[in-house]
Structure 1
């Protein structure tokens, strides 16, 4: 029964999925931020369309972008002095280099095939969907700015995309087909990943920027620990994505522990903001300080007066006036080595995290369990062993 389930068409997972929103690869970073903040999505797809003959004019999804990508882009050495200039760079320039994390897949492809691509490093699978927008929906999207609309390419074909979380949720809904594996402990199933990224809470956050890039590439998180290797919190790509672009200044100015407080829900404490500004001044990072001042000034202005038009895009020096993201805590989700696989799956899905930290009774950090490790267990049920590929050197961004 489990093998039959995994052999089903991937289109079954697309039922009820929203139409994929997109920006053009030629759009600017500023356009990308506008699209992200209007949509409320954690990521927006990036598409490139050819020109000329029909064979070369097909549109292809070439990547995805989140606020976390923008934050790390602003932390690059060439952007520290003038982060505002960085907002005018084409979004294609900041997409990760190397193996693509996006793959197009036909709707009649099997779930097994989709899982194999995910386990090989694909993060999002772009699937054509059959239904077409009604006239009202079409008019609504055509009236949006050209840099941000619904993914309707290749003869007005619409698309959705599937993530690791979507596949894990689908498997959880059919968990009985895999009995008794889901009730086994994560330790006995050998799904605990001990090759984790940690940073001491007193260490500068800027010292582990390469870890943040790796977390983006592997869809995991960076653990913040104390001197006894006990878990304090996590810095995840999704937490950064729910922040704003001033998190780049926070990374350059704060320790890892203070960065947790800055990106936590409810907004940063005022004393931490003042400490940040002082730290940026001492490090001669005037561009980042100016970014903070501009953002907080714009935020206060937008809170006192509503935006007059949805079509108003972000200007070069006005990059933070719209923020629709829900708050996201940096508190880590934890389990024990004796937790069952199904219990960890439920934790991850309930808290919308891509990894769950494994700790001992005294809260000492052991490792983590990611969506990818979970999927490997179910993939092995159908036969064939998946070999973990070599890690992409994501620090070279």
Structure 2
């Protein structure tokens, strides 16, 4: 039965998933920032297209719109980009850079996969390093496609005469959990018996360290879909700086990363909103460093009242056309994106695999920290590590 489950087509996992929002590779960082705020998406896909026809209708009729998704962009990418010293001193100019600068140079983070591919093929691509898989969606007849384009000509989700969706690690783990009984007794085994606790690739900083020291780790954890641990002097886990949490913040968090300690940054990005004393501290330190333009990122009150974002002055798109979107961040506003607090999600070496899967899915994270009984950080368990276990069991079943 487990063999038949893993042989299922990936299209089964895509039912009801929304079509990808997209940007052209020729867009700017400001365009990406504006799109993320307009649509309240966690990620925007970036496409490189070869248009051979002058009109969108011609491209749909002829099928000559050759497009490939070459990457994805999220708020964390933009925050890390703005944190660079040269960009923090002149964020307006930085936002005019090509969006391609945010896409990792190493290929393979985003991969295309046909809808009739098996779940095992999808798992193999993820174990090879893919973060997201791009799967074509069925959207009906040619007339349906034309109507879709006419409805939103400037923001069409059509590429190659198709709509596409993300297939994520979370989608696959959730799918496996729904049929977890087929893999027994493996799921009830403790994780320390399954060789999936990673104790070598832990990214951690101390509570009192400057948050800027965590910046390379934040970028790396985004690629690895993990997090940055915050530990005390005894190596005990006391919190985290999670890309998942940062992704629900605004671009002004770049100023906080550049000026606060790691511990203060946890409080700053917490979904309850940053304390006023931290906000004032960031402003004072920006002034001391003569970062006048970065200080503009902190001036939320005027932007909220005017309904404009920092990027609107630099973007060709109008936020007013789509309505004002706010994230749950320092301002404590509303967001359609899921956010959570900075407390780390933890388990123990003797926790069962199924318990850790449920824990990660419940908190919408792709990893769980592993701690000893005294709170000392022992490692991390990721969705990729969990999938490796199921992939190995599939090999056992087929060889047996």
Q: TM-score, normalised by structure 2?
A: 0.86
Task: For 1:49-88, list aligned pairs within 5 A.
Answer: 49-52=49-52, 57-88=65-96
Q: Tell me the distance in 2 between the aligned counterparts of 1:122 and 1:268.
A: 34
Cα deviation, residue 373, structure 1: 0.7
Q: Which moved more, 1:351-360 or 1:281-290?
A: 281-290
For the pair 1:174 / 2:174, whether they are aligned, the reply is no
- Residue aligned with 1:383, SS: helix
- Report if the CA contact (8 A) 1:27-1:90 is conserved: yes
2:26 partner SS:
coil
Report the equivalent of 1:115.
123
Conserved 8 A contact 1:30-1:315: no
Structure 1 residues 319-328 or 203-212, which shifts more?
319-328
The aligned counterpart of 1:92 is 100
Matched, 1:255 2:261: yes
Measured in 2, the distance between the counterparts of 1:327 and 1:168 equals: 20
Alignment of 1:176-255 (within 5 A): 176-195=181-200, 196-255=202-261
Give the direction of change, closer, same or farther, for the CA distance of 1:288–1:182 in structure 2 (3 Å limit): same
Query: What is the CA distance between 1:93 and its match in structure 2?
Result: 2.2
- Segment of structure 1 superposing worse, 241-250 or 7-16: 7-16
Instruction: Flag the 1:149–1:131 CA change in 2: closer, same or farther, 3 A.
Output: closer
Q: Shift of residue 6 of structure 1? A: 0.9
Matched length = 371
1:278 corresponds in structure 2 to 284
Are 2:378 and 1:366 equivalent residues in the alignment? yes
Residues 76 and 212 of structure 1: CA distance in aligned 2, closer, same or farther (over 3 Å): same
> What corresponds to 1:18 in structure 2?
18
Question: Is 2:377 the partner of 1:377?
Answer: no
Answer whether contact 1:264 1:327 (CA < 8 A) is retained. Answer: no
Residues 1:356 and 2:375 are matched in the alignment: no
Q: Could you report, residue by residue, the CA deviation over 1:23-54 in whole angstroms, capped at 9, with x for unpaired residues?
A: 11112222212221222221111111113388
Determine if contact 1:29/1:88 at 8 Å carries over to the other structure. yes
Kindly report the root-mean-square deviation, in angstroms, between the aligned alpha carbons of the 2 structures: 2.5
CA displacement at 1:58 relative to structure 2: 0.4
1:333 is aligned to 345
Q: Deviations over 1:317-346 (max 9, x none)?
A: 999963234442111111111100000000
What corresponds to 2:272 in structure 1? 266
Give the equivalent residue in structure 2 for 1:32.
32
Q: Is the counterpart of residue 160 in structure 1 residue 162 in structure 2?
A: no
Counterpart in 1 of 2:59? none
Q: Which moved more, 1:66-75 or 1:1-10?
A: 1-10
Between the aligned partners of 1:326 and 1:174, the Cα distance in structure 2 is 26
Once residues 160 and 133 of structure 1 are traced to their aligned partners in structure 2, the CA distance between those partners, rounded to angstroms, is 18
TM-score between both structures, scaled by the size of structure 1: 0.87
Q: Tell me, which stretches of 5 or more residues in structure 1 are unaligned?
A: 308-312, 385-397
Q: In 1, are the aligned partners of 2:231 and 2:238 still within 8 Å (CA)?
A: yes
Partners of 2:305 and 2:34 lie apart in 1 by 18
Q: Any unmatched runs of 5+ in structure 2?
A: 54-61, 327-334
